[in-house]
Amino acid sequence: MRSLTRPGLARSASYQFKNVTVALARNMSTEAVATSPGSAVCHLPTSMPASAAPNPSLSGTVVKVQKGNMPPGFRATVGNFDTFELPQHVTGCAGDVAMGRAIIQAWRRDGILQFTMTPEQKRLRDAAFSASKRFFKLPYQEKARCVDDQSYAGYIASGEEITDGVADYSEIFTVTKDLPLEDQRVQAGWPCHGPCPWPTRIGMKNAMKAYMDELARCGEVLLGLTEAGLGLEPGALTKYTADGWHHSRVLRFPARHQTNGKGKEGRGIGSHTDYGLLVISAQDNVGGLFVRPPYQGEDYANWKSSAAGMKENDEGWVYVPPQDDCFTVILGDMMQYLTNSFLKSTPHKVGLNNAERYTIAYFHEPNFQAVVKPIEDFSNGDQSVSFHEDAEQDNGVHYGTHFTNMFMRNYPDRITTKRLIEENRYPLLATKELCTMDANRVEEL
Ligand SMILES: O=C(O)CCC(=O)C(=O)O
Ligand SMILES: [Fe+2]
């Protein structure tokens, strides 16, 4: 097996560190477990990685897992990720800073972390998964009617989604912002804006709405902790998520065919990165997800050129074992761009297993109109990072354009893509109106 070096907190060539005190990523600073003085409400990771107990995800051991767990035909390290218990609110207390730093270290080391579900979150998750199962059991004709020609929301049949030119066998219901036809943005023909074509009778709309509202709250908490961990002003990240383009993919993966869950006839989802800030997922107990931790020398910028298909068949993937009552959180392209790759968008892929698999991925995103700009100065514990001298001299990334590009590429034959092209809507993305969030919400755009 090719040996892969992990960056830990090592500087990348384009970073300029001030006060370089580089701690080993694995050697968690004591600050990370320090409680806030006099605070009873501070919250700490439920399982902090102890430096004495190496995280197996880093051991480099290749493990063959028994049937019914890791999809057959795959070789990967089995992950054992840091698990956090999130606070209800972020106040900026010492505990928030400590947890923010621990969260950042986990993402920089593993590309993924977990947080535990509250009883209420378990209830919402169960209701959403039940609705998902009711939906996918509907007759094909009924599911196929759940399509909209202006938004990308609705049903995606198995084999319809294309990643890196190859069909994926996931069956999906996408939920995007459910905008009525009278909405001004829909009237104006803004790309991707339109209703969500919910199925009738099966209670999916209410279940998904309640689930996504709760994850939107968690997404804001995670961004708040990330701000605290990076030493940023409150709002440095969350200013982008006002009326964020949050969406979800409700997924069902069929059981594999004879092709070992790989290749044209049996791939779950090919390797890719997702587009926005955070992806918060819940999976059932079947297993199929793999993530690729940040490796030195592996640099992708999916907003510039597609990262789909990268390293798909290489060594170095980490299996994400189903973990009872935990959400996983990976990072998206906009988080990478904002932090100048200090936090990288997490490559991941899905293999088909012996049994069908259900999962729901929630995407916590910037506002569709947001133009995201890299943050010039931040810190991570003792380590300060500045991009003043190296900052890319570009005009930022327009999130709505990135989202539209991704969906047009993944669904080239969908009615939504055809209408977008026929009505020449794409150039609207470059107009001032579509590239500027409300000035009260995001300054300096
Ligand atoms: O199935 C999963 O766990 C992940 C799904 C995924 O990567 C996606 O929907 O973009
Ligand atoms: Fe994904």
Q: Is the pLDDT of residue 100 over 60?
A: yes
What is residue 24's predicted lDDT score, i.e. its pLDDT? 23
Answer yes or no: are the C-beta atoms of 226 and 100 closer than 8 Å: yes
φ and ψ at residue 434, rounded to 5 degrees: -85, -15
Instruction: Kindly state the tokens that stand for 303.
Output: 């907003």
pLDDT digits (tens, 9 = 90+) for 122-161: 999 999 999 999 999 999 999 999 999 999 999 998 877 7
DSSP per-residue string spanning 19-80: S-----TTS--GGGGPPPTT-SS----SBPPPTTS--GGGS---BPPPTTSSPTT--BEEP-
Instruction: For the chain, give the number of residues.
Output: 445
Amino acid at 285: N
Substitution site in 251, 274, 317, 328 for ligand 1 pocket (most atoms within 8 Å of beta carbon):
251
Pocket of ligand 1 (CB under 6 A): 249, 251, 269, 274, 281, 283, 289, 348, 350, 359, 361
Stated pTM of the model = 0.84
Substitution site in 279, 280, 356, 403 for ligand 1 pocket (most atoms within 8 Å of beta carbon):
279
Q: Is the pLDDT of residue 84 over 90?
A: yes
What is residue 381's predicted lDDT score, i.e. its pLDDT? 72
Instruction: Kindly state the tokens that stand for 198.
Output: 């919910």
Determine the 3-state secondary structure of 10 from DSSP: coil
pLDDT digits (tens, 9 = 90+) for 423-433: 999 999 999 99
Instruction: Kindly state the tokens that stand for 165.
Output: 């030119």
pLDDT digits (tens, 9 = 90+) for 298-326: 888 888 888 888 998 899 999 999 998 99
What is residue 258's predicted lDDT score, i.e. its pLDDT? 62
Q: Which atom of ligand 1 is nearest to the CA of 281?
A: 3
Q: Mean pLDDT throughout 9-24?
A: 23
Q: How confident is the model at residue 260 (pLDDT cuts 50, 70, 90)?
A: low
Output 227 or 260, whichever has higher pLDDT: 227
When the pLDDT of each residue in the chain is averaged and rounded to a whole number, the result is 82
Ligand lying closest to the C-alpha of residue 358: 1
What is residue 262's predicted lDDT score, i.e. its pLDDT? 57
The domains located in the chain, with CATH, are 77-376+402-434 (2.60.120.330)
